[in-house]
Amino acid sequence: MKLVRWKRFIWQLPKLPPLDQTLPAHFIVRAAARDEAKAVAHVILTAFSLDSTWSDTLNLFRERLEMQLDLAFSRESTPALVITHGPRIIAASALNTEVEADSHLVSGPCVLSEYCNRGLGTALLHASLRQLHEAGLTRAAAITKENTTACKFVYRKFGAESASCEYSPALVAT
C-alpha cells in the first residue's frame, strides 16, 4: 500500500480577506438546491475521478465522500455551493457546518476539467469560506492530499495555515 500524506488547512473566518477577482457574468455562484444533490455529487465525483493526483486514493474514500454528501443534503441549510454556466452545474463545494468536524469543506471546490484554470476553484473556495462564516463558524478546516492542485494552489489562499496531519479517509464517521 502506498503511503499517502495529508495536509490540514485552517482559515480564521473573521479574518477572511475579500475576493480580489470577479468571475465573468456567465458564471453564477449560488447555493445548491436540495433537488440538485445528484448533480452536485456527479460534478464532485467526476472532478475527483478525472484528477490523476487522486487516482491512487479515490477508492479509499469514495464511500465516505458519498456518505458525507448525503449527510450534507439531509442536514445542512446550505448543503453545497455551486457555480453554473447557464443551467449546467460546472463546479461544486459541499459543506459541513458542525464546529468539531475534521473538515468543513466536505469535497473542497471541485471544478469539471473543461472549466479548470479560470479562477473558479478560488472563487468557490472563497464563497464556501464566507458561507461557513455566515453559518456561525469562526474557523474552518479542510483536509487534502499533499501535491494535489488544491494543496499547492487553491487552499493556500485567504490566509490559510497548513500542517501535515494523520487522516484515515476509509473510516466512516458517524
For the chain, what are the domain ranges?
Answer: 6-165
The pLDDT value given to residue 158: 96
The Cα 144–Cα 135 span in angstroms is: 23
The pLDDT value given to residue 169: 66
The pLDDT value given to residue 57: 82
For the domain spanning 6-165, the CATH number is 3.40.630.30
Which distant-in-sequence residues (6+ apart) come within 8 Å of 16 by Cβ? Answer: 126, 129, 130, 133, 158, 159
Instruction: From residue 53, give the alpha-carbon distance in Å to each of 31, 56, 125.
Output: 28, 7, 19
pLDDT in tens, 119-134: 999 999 999 999 999 9
Which residues of the chain fall below pLDDT 70? 1-2, 169-174
The pLDDT value given to residue 4: 83
The Cα 41–Cα 45 span in angstroms is: 6
